[in-house]
Amino acid sequence: MPIAYRNVSFVYSAGSPFESAALRGIDCAIEPGSFLALVGRTGSGKSTMVQLLNALLVPTEGEVVVDEYVNSPDKKRRTKKLKGLRKKVGYVFQFPEYQLFLDTVEKDVAYGPKNFGATPEEALKKAHEALGKVGLDSSFYERSPFALSGGEKRKVAMAGILAMEPDVLVLDEPTAGLDPEASREMIALFKEINAQGTTIVLVSHDMDLVLECATRLIVLENGKIVKDGDPSSLFEVDLESYALEEPKVFAFVDALRKLGMSISPDGISNVETLAEKIKEAKK
C-alpha cells in the first residue's frame, strides 16, 4: 500500500495567540519505491509535511496513512504503538543536532538497530556498515558526535537512520553544510538506496540535486500543493514565483538556446546528460 495524505491540515499552537497554519488540505499518495522531492520557499510547510509521516507531528485535520499505520487526530483511528512506524519510516532531521545524543559516534549510530531488537554485536556491525556508506571511517567511531563539523554531524545523523534499514527514507535538506564532493557522494548513495527499493522523500532547496535524483516533484506554497509532476517539467515552471532556483543545467540549456542551438531540456538531469544532449544537437 502506498503512503497517503488525506485532506491533511496542520496548525502549530492551535487555539493560542501564536496559532499558525502550516499545511492546508494536503492530498497525495506516494508510491513505494519512488523518489519524491518536496520543494518550496522557506516556511512553505515542507518539514511539517514530512514530520507527519512518522508521527512526530499529528495532523490537526485529515490523516496520513503508511501501510497499516494511521496518523490521525481521531484517537479511535490513530495507531497507538508507533515503534513499527518509526522503524519503517526513517527521518533524517533538517538540523542534525536534534538527532544526535550519545557520547560516541559508534554508540549513537548503533542506538537505532539496538532499540529495534538487534544484539549489541549486530547493532555495532550495522553501525559500522552505515558509517562506511556515508564515508566515515573507523577513526570516527570513538569520537563525540558533538565535536564534529556540521557536515560530519549530518553524515552521522544519516548513518543513524540508515543503520535501521527503513523502507521509507525521509531526508530533510540532507546536503546542507556538505562540500561539493561530499554532496556528490551523498547523491550517489541516495540513488543507490533508492535503486535497492527504498522509497525516498527528499526535501531540498538544491534544485540541481532534485533534478538529478527525483522521479517526482511536489512544490509547496503556503501549505498547499501547487505543482505535482515530473522534475523535467521544471523547465516550464516559473521557478522564481516560488522562490526556487533554476537548476544550473537548465540555465545552461537556456543560454545555448539564446546562442541559437536547438536543444530540448527533456531527459537532462545532470552535467553528463547535458553533455550528451549537446553532442546530439551538434550532429
Determine if 45 is a binding residue for ligand ATP (CB under 6 A).
yes
Instruction: Report d(CA 223, CA 62) in Å as an integer.
Output: 14
- The cell for 62 is 485529515
Q: How far is the CB of 151 from ligand ATP (least distance, A)?
A: 18
Asked whether the beta carbons of 209 and 187 are under 8 A apart, the reply is: yes
Q: Which is nearer to ligand ATP, 106 or 172 (CB)?
A: 172
Determine if 33 is a binding residue for ligand ATP (CB under 6 A).
no
Determine if 12 is a binding residue for ligand ATP (CB under 6 A).
yes
From candidates 22, 53, 161, 244, binder to ligand ATP by CB under 6 A? 22
Q: Which is nearer to ligand ATP, 22 or 100 (CB)?
A: 22
How many of the other CB atoms lie within 10 Å of CB of 199?
A: 23
Q: Which residues contact 16 (CB under 8 A, 6 or more apart)?
A: none
Stretch that binds ligand ATP, among 39-47, 74-82, 181-189, 270-278 (CB under 6 A): 39-47
Stretch that binds ligand ATP, among 43-51, 181-189, 229-237, 264-272 (CB under 6 A): 43-51
Determine if 204 is a binding residue for ligand ATP (CB under 6 A).
no
Determine if 47 is a binding residue for Mg ion (CB under 5 A).
yes
Q: What angle do CA 6, 65, 217 make, to 5 degrees?
A: 65
Determine if 175 is a binding residue for Mg ion (CB under 5 A).
no
Determine if 51 is a binding residue for Mg ion (CB under 5 A).
no
From candidates 16, 42, 139, 262, binder to ligand ATP by CB under 6 A? 42
Encode 148-213 in three state secondary structure. CCHHHHHHHHHHHHHCCCCCEEEEECCCCCCCHHHHHHHHHHHHHHHHCCCEEEEECCCHHHHHHH
How would you classify the pairing of strands 168-172 and 89-92?
A: parallel
Binding residues for Mg ion restricted to 55-94, rule: CB under 5 A = 94
Stretch that binds Mg ion, among 39-47, 68-76, 218-226, 257-265 (CB under 5 A): 39-47
Q: Which is nearer to ligand ATP, 48 or 71 (CB)?
A: 48
Asked whether the beta carbons of 79 and 89 are under 8 A apart, the reply is: no
Q: Which is nearer to Mg ion, 36 or 130 (CB)?
A: 36
From candidates 5, 37, 48, 208, binder to ligand ATP by CB under 6 A? 48
Distances (CA, A) of 208 to 42, 47, 64, 213: 18, 20, 29, 9
Torsion 144-147-148-154 (CA) sign = positive
Q: How far is the CB of 50 from ligand ATP (least distance, A)?
A: 8
Q: 262 is in the binding site of which of Mg ion, ligand ATP, none (Cβ under 5 to 8 A by kind)?
A: none
Of 110, 148, 111, 113, residue with least CA distance to 127: 110
Of 249, 265, 258, 154, residue with least CA distance to 207: 249
Numbers of helices and strands, H then E, in the chain: 9, 10
Interface residues with Mg ion (CB under 5 A)? Answer: 46-47, 94
Interface residues with ligand ATP (CB under 6 A)? Answer: 12-13, 20, 22, 40, 42-48, 94
